[in-house]
Amino acid sequence: MRITIIGAGFTGSVLATELARIAPVGVDLCLVGNADGFGRGVAYGEARPEHLLNVRAREMGATLDQPAEFARWLNLTRRAEESFLPRLVYGEYLYSRMQSAAQVSLAGFNQVQQEAVAVEREGDAFRVLLADGSDFLTDRVVLAVGTLPPQRLQGVGPRLLVDPAYIAWPWQKNLRGEDALSRVPDDARVLIIGTGLTMADTVVTLLRRGHQGPITAISRHGLLPQPHLAEPGPTIALPPTVLAALNSGDVRQLLRALRSLAPIVPDWRSLVDALRPFLQGYWQGLPDVQRGRFLRHLRSYWEVVRHRLAPSLHEELEQLRSEGRLTIRAGRLLRASRGHQAVEVVIRERGHSHALAEQYDVLVRATGLDTDVERTSHPLVGQLRDAGIISADRFGLGLRTSTSYEALDRNGAAVRGLYCIGPLLRGRLWEITAVPELRVAARDLAQQLLRAPSASVRVQRDAALPRSVRVLRQASR
């Protein structure tokens, strides 16, 4: 049996490691992903030294039953385990544990550093087509592509789209390996669209490069992510009123229960953390009308308390705000165009009927996580969607899937052998973007993939793989 995981970021790496540890002889694993950040992902492999984890080191173990594995891998002291370490270090941990598992695995483990551009059904199997023109057959495919590429920013004119003054993704690298922020002049007036975690990373990178010009960040609500406490707070158990609200299928009832509890808990962060184990079940029990109400009215407020900043980064941003060097505003970008001297923008601030015309030197898109399958430019996801093999969640939260992680086609039928894991499961689970939930899903899916027998491509073992992979396997023998 051959299992192919498409996407070599955090989720793909963790799933591949789980499979390598438990798969028996006769199973071939194939991990396919871009060379940049292979086994680490964009968030951890292509981060800069100043980009910190937003979770304490002791909680970042990628193995379900060993949450402190990352801290032990670094031989951290008890005090250091409570710190927020650079994301680059975490990327090295992910890559190291995957390679260690590959070396002792009973299964074959092939690592293909190529982009998968299409997946097609071929009998009971799938044919995976790669960017270098090669292809191979596989019994099962797991889509672990992470979040999708940022969409085009609404209101940006065609001339600005191709102008250096517009940065569509802060970490996009040119042929010399330089990211887009490296070309921002130190005194530039910068407008950032988005006020979340990506904005925070963008600002700190500009500062480390000596930026002195004013920075403005806008989003619909103008909310900055909240910080973790410098020292972890106490854990709490949810009272019966909140547990009953979690079973009600009603957003308002849960919100009322949480508001009544918030004044008496030691810290609101403890309350948010106590909710996490219940949120996947809660989301699955919500009717669509309730999901839509949450996404329209509460999503932005939930995101800033759920996905928090390292305390040191939050302090730095607040210091910039107090000095007037960073301004956070609530509003919408209506229009952005390339003027003769600057980027000309039109902004309508929240609660105002009139718009403001302003000028900046650089416009940066930092809107963060995207899971909208219907509108994505991702080649593979777009190909599968157009072929009807996968279908989009109605709220733009990823793919429709079964309870067994199988993709649902355009008719709502499960596609046997095609699975999905990671942020594209938000439509079914909502809380599936952080390490604790992803490591649980990786363990569950790894066990499921190995349960059902399949022999559809066994007769074509090595011949079905790209030549580069066949050479790698022959060398290892």
361: closest CA among 386, 395, 331, 338? Answer: 338
Domains of the chain: residue spans and CATH: 2-149+371-476 (3.50.50.60), 158-226+308-365 (3.50.50.60), 240-306 (no CATH)
pLDDT computed for residue 466 by the predictor: 54
In 3-state terms, what secondary structure has residue 9? coil
Mean pLDDT of the chain: 92
- pLDDT bucket at 42, cuts 50 / 70 / 90: confident
Mean pLDDT in residue range 442-457: 78
pLDDT computed for residue 465 by the predictor: 52
8: closest CA among 109, 79, 153, 84? Answer: 109
Question: Which single residue is written with the structure tokens 């100043």?
Answer: 50
Q: How far is the C-alpha of 272 from the C-alpha of 242, rounded, in Å?
A: 12
Q: How far is the C-alpha of 152 from the C-alpha of 161, rounded, in Å?
A: 9
Question: Which single residue is written with the structure tokens 């390679």?
Answer: 99
pLDDT tens across 357-393, in order?
999 999 999 998 899 999 999 999 999 999 999 999 9
Question: Which single residue is written with the structure tokens 């601030």?
Answer: 349
Under DSSP, the state recorded for 229 is P
pLDDT computed for residue 279 by the predictor: 96
Mean pLDDT in residue range 461-476: 43
| Two structure tokens written together for 129 | 């087509």
pLDDT computed for residue 12 by the predictor: 97
pLDDT tens across 155-208, in order?
999 999 999 999 999 988 776 778 899 999 999 999 999 999 999 999 999 999
Q: Do residues 34 and 112 make contact, with C-beta atoms less than 8 angstroms apart?
A: no
Given a cut of 50, is residue 477 above it in pLDDT?
no
Given a cut of 80, is residue 473 above it in pLDDT?
no
Given a cut of 70, is residue 449 above it in pLDDT?
yes
- pLDDT bucket at 318, cuts 50 / 70 / 90: very high
Q: How far is the C-alpha of 32 from the C-alpha of 377, rounded, in Å?
A: 19
The shares of helix, strand and coil residues in the chain, as percent rounded to the nearest 5, are 40, 20, 40
pLDDT computed for residue 453 by the predictor: 59
Backbone angles phi, psi at 88, to 5 degrees: -60, -40
pLDDT computed for residue 171 by the predictor: 87
Q: How far is the C-alpha of 316 from the C-alpha of 323, rounded, in Å?
A: 11
pLDDT computed for residue 175 by the predictor: 67
pTM above 0.75, yes or no: yes
328: closest CA among 349, 355, 345, 353? Answer: 349
Among 320-324, 414-418, 434-438, 471-475, where is mean pLDDT lowest?
A: 471-475
Sheet containing 215-219: order of strands? 166-167, 362-365, 190-193, 215-219, 326-338, 343-349, 356-360
pLDDT computed for residue 454 by the predictor: 53
What's the distance, Cα to Cα, between the start and end of the chain in Å? 19
Given a cut of 50, is residue 461 above it in pLDDT?
no
Mean pLDDT in residue range 23-30: 96
Given a cut of 50, is residue 475 above it in pLDDT?
no
Mean pLDDT in residue range 301-322: 96
Q: How far is the C-alpha of 450 from the C-alpha of 18, rounded, in Å?
A: 11
What DSSP assignment string belongs to 106-144?
SSEEEEE-S-EEEEEEETTEEEEEETTS-EEEESEEEE-
- pLDDT bucket at 152, cuts 50 / 70 / 90: confident
